[in-house]
Amino acid sequence: MKNLFKILFAAAFMSTIMISCDNDDQILNNDSFANFNFEQNFLTVDFTSVTSENATSYDWNFGDGQTSDAENPTITYENFGSYTVTLSINDEDATVQRTVTVAPPSEDASSFAQISSLPIGGEGAAEIAAHDAINQQLFVVNNDGGSTIDVIDFSNPNTMSVTSSIDVSAYGGGVNSVAVSKQYLAAAIEANVATDNGVIVVWKADSLAGPVAVVTAGALPDMVTFSPDGSYILSANEGEPQDDYSVDPEGSVTIVETENFSSLTLGFSGFNNMVDSLAKDAFRVFGPGATLAQDVEPEYITVSPDGSTAYVALQENNGLAVIDLAAKRISGLLPLGLKDYSKEGNEIDPSDDDAGVNFRSVPVFGMYQPDAIAAYEVDGTTYVISANEGDARDYGGFSEEVRVSDLPLDATAFPDAATLKENENLGRLLVTNVNGDINGDGIYEALWSFGARSFSIWNGGTGKLEWDSGNELEEEANKAGLYPDGRSDAKGVEPEGVVVGSVSGSPVAFIGLERADAVAIYDVSEPKEPKFLSILETGDAPEGLVFINPAQSPTRKSLLVVASEGDGTIRVYETAN
């Protein structure tokens, strides 16, 4: 249905013009006025000038770079939003300037429902996806039996089909991530030897015959993204160690300029002397013999809406890094602290052997350890949402993961240690053996578990925790019959993915729950008081989430694309109204 917004902008101007003649100066009064109406149909706007009869020329500026000299022009905006539109007549004899709001369609964010699915393989076949709005196609990582990027026709989301595949085996050991911005597709590809430097491969999205650039990245590029304006490609180079820890490359972030594909890889050696100060707020540096630069493992990157700042999830380290993109430097590290499961609202079920789902307060701390993160803006302030999945280091040469039943507990801190260690209590819970032994005597005064079973909202400027979902994700999953009690001893619902999109002008967060096989939807327009809207059942192990706003959607409705690595299937969800 056509959305009709008709606004009459009227501004009358009386101009007094001095004309110099041979004999004398004549003063002529010239009454001129300029105004206009407009009518919106989705992104297309019809402008109608309403001006004085003496108007002979028209100069329009539509606030997005488009201009016109037509009397009654029609233009199409790329996105919904507010634009400053200017109309001048007769070489600025009269001018009117007003804000025109191109409003998005009205949608209910709680009404998302599945409209289609497309299996593209088995386990590992659909981990990460990216949407190309110009050509209406999806690019999907597929590592089931090979290493390809599948290209999916998305012109009709109800009848998706794989049209081709890009074989990336020539560029390394496997593709980990893909991203699209305007004309380019970028892929993060690890080396055949994972501890060696990988590459970022870039194609023109409408011509996939061969790449336009192959850029060297750091070791194990695990995630790739673009800045909002498409001027930068960034990759999170995880730099995981070899299994026996004989090689431990530095973690890093590679920044590529799309204008000429020049690149710079940033390391963390400048923070090597900050280990002790960061540890006070639970930032962890703990690999055998590792410096901070070696120990950090960049997992995920998000960029602020204004394109000035990148935030990097350092999952195993329990922190975020902040990058000044204009200066191309890492400006700081933000330790994330700990979540106290003994506090009201933070209850968890710590056991898979307690005859059911039993959320309760326990004397355990959770490390936030985010996987995916997403930046958004409210009233000029940037916020970062983190999906607090958690992750342990478990290698042949080093492993930190133990069960509480196997740890010696301090009698003062845990006077009921024998009871706590029973399987139906905390005995089955997986925790780290790296932290919690406060005085180094081999006996643990605190228990630190992996992840926070929640999502959090952090102030992007200060790093302050503004809000955490507590145990709401697990409570809502349980109400929906989706809580994975068999994972209670590990990380519960395991929030892994997050994406933020605008629905009817309000920011909405979609949180992927890997072990619950679900996506939780929240209104996050109030960062200190988000509101739960609904929960969607997905396929096995949802990881890649893509929000498509109506301006880029082939259906003119908001869409959510979910890539589930467990069953190798792409699912599409759409608002019902």
- pLDDT, tens digit, 9 for 90 and up, residues 241-288: 999 999 999 999 999 999 999 999 999 999 999 999 999 999 999 999
On whether both 152 and 179 belong to a single domain, the answer is yes
Question: Which domain-ending residue is among 102, 123, 153?
Answer: 102
CATH code where residue 531 lies: 2.130.10.10
On whether both 241 and 310 belong to a single domain, the answer is yes
Rounded CA-CA distance 103/552 in Å is 14
Q: By percentage, how much of the chain surpasses pLDDT 90?
A: 94
Rounded CA-CA distance 294/317 in Å is 11
Rounded CA-CA distance 431/415 in Å is 19
Instruction: Compute the average pLDDT of residues 481-502.
Output: 98
Helix (H, G, I), strand (E, B) or coil at 278: helix
27-to-30, 32, 89, 90, 95 alpha-carbon distances in Å = 10, 16, 21, 18, 21
On whether both 347 and 468 belong to a single domain, the answer is yes
Q: What are residue 528's phi and psi, to 5 degrees?
A: -95, 0
Question: Which domain-ending residue is among 102, 125, 157?
Answer: 102
CATH code where residue 49 lies: 2.60.40.10
Residue 95: CA atoms inside 13 Å, Cβ hemisphere, count?
Answer: 11
On whether both 31 and 144 belong to a single domain, the answer is no
Please name every residue paired with 141 in a beta bridge, in sequence order, or none if there are none: 149
Instruction: Compute the average pLDDT of residues 106-122.
Output: 97
Could you identify the residue written with the tokens 């992927």?
512
At 3 the pLDDT is: 41
396 falls within a domain: no
Q: Would the pLDDT of 221 be above 90?
A: yes
444 falls within a domain: no
- pLDDT, tens digit, 9 for 90 and up, residues 29-43: 357 899 999 999 999
- pLDDT, tens digit, 9 for 90 and up, residues 137-158: 999 999 999 999 999 999 999 9
Instruction: Compute the average pLDDT of residues 428-456.
Output: 98
On whether both 307 and 386 belong to a single domain, the answer is yes
At 157 the pLDDT is: 98
On whether both 260 and 309 belong to a single domain, the answer is yes
At 187 the pLDDT is: 98
Rounded CA-CA distance 140/113 in Å is 21
8 Å CB contact between 126 and 26 = no
What is the number of structural domains in the chain? 2
Rounded CA-CA distance 144/533 in Å is 34
8 Å CB contact between 254 and 217 = yes
Q: Which domain holds residue 27?
A: 9-102
For 491, the token pair is: 């990380």
Instruction: Compute the average pLDDT of residues 332-340.
Output: 98
Radius of gyration of the chain (CA): 28
Give the angle subtended at the CA of 392 by the CAs of 535 and 168, to the nearest 5°.
Answer: 75
| pLDDT band (50, 70, 90) for residue 504 | very high
Q: What are residue 403's phi and psi, to 5 degrees?
A: -95, 150
On whether both 145 and 73 belong to a single domain, the answer is no
On whether both 142 and 256 belong to a single domain, the answer is yes
Helix (H, G, I), strand (E, B) or coil at 26: strand
For residue 573, the tally of other CB atoms under 10 A from its CB is 23
Rounded CA-CA distance 157/530 in Å is 30
Question: Which domain-ending residue is among 102, 119, 147?
Answer: 102
At 260 the pLDDT is: 98
On whether both 143 and 60 belong to a single domain, the answer is no
* DSSP designation for 441: S
Instruction: Identify the burial level of 287 via C-beta atoms within 10 angstroms of its C-beta, where 0-12 means exposed, 13-18 middle and 19 or more buried.
Output: buried
39 falls within a domain: yes
On whether both 233 and 378 belong to a single domain, the answer is yes
1 falls within a domain: no
8 Å CB contact between 223 and 236 = yes
